[in-house]
Amino acid sequence: MTDSPLRIGLLGASKIAPLAVIEPAAARPDVVITAVAARDPDRARAFAQQHGIPSVAADYAELVQREDVDLVYNGLPPAAHPQWSVAALQHGKMVLCEKPLTRTAAEATAMADAAARAGGVLIEAFHYRHHRVMREAVAAVRRGDIGRPRRAEAVFNVPIARTETELRWRRDLGGGALMDLGCYPLHALRSLLTAEPVVEHASARFEPDGVDAELEVKLSFGDVSARIACSMIAPRAHAALWIEGDAGRLGIVNFVAPQIGCVFTVNGETRRTDGPPSWSMSSGFGGALSRLCSPLRTRSRTWRRSQRSTRPRVEYEPRSARAGRHALVARAT
């Protein structure tokens, strides 16, 4: 096993798969994509031909049982994450599941429990967390470079056109601003701050069909006051975070995809401005694959180290189904 490559099977012929898995895997001699499955077999075959994938599974069930798959990349819509991630774990596969891991805390708990029972590896695909910029940011806060954190904010906006085929505008499939975008700011602040968040107030703009188009949440991480925001109807894309401490300030412009260019500043000093994409270990996508290769080589079980990321602590429940802006009820979990 130590000399064998990590063999990946793809659940879904998704738009994100080339960037998230296929291209980074192609840059590594110890990783290979062996099979893909999609709801539409013709689409799966076309996807396999386009990306040089040797096999097409008849359906999702076949893919998670294949002997030539060590790791299943679940790039399906969030509504399908629990069923097929758990199925893969039950068949002894490692699982890299696209974000958001699930739509509810109960689903996340069930998936984490399934990984525990199987003794398996379950990782939520927040690739940016493995990039050197984010690793350095976490280290800077924990070293005390900005003193004790007092305030924080993280925002991620992307204008997303509403079309018939755009899954992010489908509530039943797990779409919406919070699920697709807001998970990044929340995940980033949870990574940087040591306490778990408590919701103080939340509001959102809902479309007539119940999809949240934008969201703003005020949180407290212990004695740190924080704000996250996200929008699918913003005029332009924007991703940034900052933390103010009693001895300084840290900020990252484009923390979500630092490999395509970002500005990382600590106490007025710009520490990193990255250039074009790279699939090396220091990039987010390459770093995620490096982490996944480790447990395969050593047979160690690392899912517990990811448990903090995969268990959401807060769910949001609209007080009204009418379109417009409404306060939300925060439910701690």
Q: Please tell me what DSSP assigns to residue 129.
A: G
Quote the Cα angle for 238-243-244, to 5°. Answer: 130
Spatial CB neighbours of 182, under 8 Å, sequence gap ≥ 6: 156, 215, 217, 228, 229, 230
Catalytic residues: 99
CB 197 within 8 A of CB 190: yes
Q: Which residues contact 300 (CB under 8 A, 6 or more apart)?
A: 294
Element containing residue 88 per DSSP (H, E) = helix 81-90
Q: Provide φ and ψ at 91, rounded to 5°.
A: -100, 20
Tokens of 89: 């774990």
Question: What is the DSSP-derived secondary structure letter of residue 232?
Answer: S
Residue 95 amino acid letter: V
